[in-house]
């Protein structure tokens, strides 16, 4: 009983004081969805690089900014526009999309084993749309490496008010050089020195990636099948730093810490995509760290067909509606991207609390 997303989309459950737009269903497709096919294996491998300064990040970030500007310039009816891309997140987190065969039930991609594969598929199409608009077939998303000391601040370009990457609905007191609190709790600023905060962050990373993540269900999230109540349980990193960094980034004076701090609006902040690229990178890291030797594939994943056959509907770079399953997104190389993160390292592996 996999969760199969239906083309039916209804108004999702948004908080009563939500910021508009209040409807987040995608434009209706004029044709039936096509099944996902892998990109050509001869396509250049997109190299996702860190967003923090150094090693050519400026040029990489300038490209990302241009891509966001181009997406923002598309008419809001275009499924590739920034407006619609932000709405994708809203639709999949407020239960707007219906489950096939269960029009009474919405699809919720958080707090379950759908979390990593859904966001990977979402970023995959977002990145390809950006590449297409830039006419740069090798374009890759930057990742916000908040798990390593050099990346624990909001990258400067996001706070430049002239940049398309700026979002006014973000917490101003958390602008750089403020060091992020990866274990942030709203209303409880820790006020530590940078060194203390950095050390706590590294220890949290160790705990979430190693101590609390020995089983697929503990890292990826709990099983969620058609007809089940939503949110059966999140994986370690989904709770923190993923959720905590959403809330830390959002405007603390807003009722739900918009934009980043709440699902319905998170995709409206351009920092969302580099944030999720880092979450996706940590999935790849988790697969390889169990023996401490960087060997890939040591952490076994689910083999349950209910996971593998769960599917989502997303628009691709040609504005075609595509049905993509969990099994389609398990191999990043087949999706023709990789993390250029050798220079970033995994310093938290040495930060066992």
For ligand C2O, the binding residues (CB under 6 A) are 89, 93, 110, 119, 242, 246, 266, 276
Instruction: Find the shortest distance in angstroms from Cβ 58 to ligand C2O.
Output: 26
Instruction: Find the shortest distance in angstroms from Cβ 266 to ligand C2O.
Output: 6
Do 263 and 18 form a contact (C-beta atoms < 8 A)?
no
Closer to ligand C2O by CB, 136 or 230: give it. 230
Closer to ligand C2O by CB, 132 or 146: give it. 146
Closer to ligand C2O by CB, 90 or 351: give it. 90
> Distances from the Cα of 138 to the Cαs of 128, 154, 240, 334, 344, in angstroms?
9, 25, 31, 15, 21
Instruction: Find the shortest distance in angstroms from Cβ 162 to ligand C2O.
Output: 26
Do 115 and 220 form a contact (C-beta atoms < 8 A)?
yes
Closer to ligand C2O by CB, 200 or 237: give it. 237
Instruction: Find the shortest distance in angstroms from Cβ 242 to ligand C2O.
Output: 6
Closer to ligand C2O by CB, 93 or 322: give it. 93
Instruction: Find the shortest distance in angstroms from Cβ 31 to ligand C2O.
Output: 27
Instruction: Find the shortest distance in angstroms from Cβ 263 to ligand C2O.
Output: 6
Instruction: Find the shortest distance in angstroms from Cβ 148 to ligand C2O.
Output: 19
**Comparing C-alpha atoms, which of 150, 117, 180, 147 is closest to residue 285?**
147
Closer to ligand C2O by CB, 111 or 339: give it. 111
Closer to ligand C2O by CB, 273 or 315: give it. 273
Instruction: Find the shortest distance in angstroms from Cβ 335 to ligand C2O.
Output: 18
Dihedral sign for Cα 177, 183, 189, 195, please: negative
Closer to ligand C2O by CB, 36 or 122: give it. 122
């Amino acid at each position: 009983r996999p969760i199969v997303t239906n083309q039916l989309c209804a108004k999702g459950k948004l908080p009563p004081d939500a910021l508009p737009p209040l409807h987040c269903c995608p434009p209706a497709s004029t044709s039936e969805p096509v099944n996902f096919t892998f990109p050509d294996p001869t396509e250049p491998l997109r190299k996702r690089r860190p967003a923090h300064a150094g090693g050519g990040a400026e040029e990489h970030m300038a490209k990302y900014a241009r891509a966001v500007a181009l997406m923002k310039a598309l008419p809001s009816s275009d499924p590739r526009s920034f407006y619609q891309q932000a709405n994708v997140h809203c639709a999949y987190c407020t239960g707007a999309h219906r489950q096939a065969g269960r029009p009474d039930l919405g699809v919720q991609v958080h707090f379950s084993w759908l979390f990593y594969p859904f966001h990977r598929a979402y970023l995959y199409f977002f990145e390809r749309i950006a590449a297409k608009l830039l006419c740069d077939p090798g374009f890759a998303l930057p990742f916000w490496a908040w798990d390593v000391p050099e990346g624990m601040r909001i990258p400067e370009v996001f706070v430049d008010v002239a940049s398309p990457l700026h979002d006014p609905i973000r917490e101003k007191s958390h602008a750089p050089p403020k060091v992020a609190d990866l274990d942030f709790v709203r209303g409880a600023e820790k006020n530590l020195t940078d060194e203390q905060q950095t050390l706590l962050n590294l220890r949290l990373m160790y705990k979430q990636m190693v101590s609390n993540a020995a089983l697929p269900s503990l890292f990826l999230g709990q099983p969620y099948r058609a007809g089940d109540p939503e949110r059966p349980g999140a994986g370690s990193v989904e709770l923190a730093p993923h959720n905590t960094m959403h809330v830390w980034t959002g405007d603390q004076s807003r009722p739900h810490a918009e934009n980043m701090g709440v699902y319905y609006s998170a995709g409206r902040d351009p920092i969302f995509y580099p944030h999720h690229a880092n979450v996706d990178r940590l999935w790849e890291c988790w697969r390889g760290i169990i023996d401490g030797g960087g060997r890939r594939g040591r952490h076994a994943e689910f083999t349950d067909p209910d996971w593998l056959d769960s599917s989502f509907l997303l628009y691709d770079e040609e504005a075609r509606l595509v049905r993509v399953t969990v099994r389609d997104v398990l191999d990043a190389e087949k999706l023709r991207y990789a993390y250029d993160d050798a220079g970033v390292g995994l310093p938290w592996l040495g930060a066992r609390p």
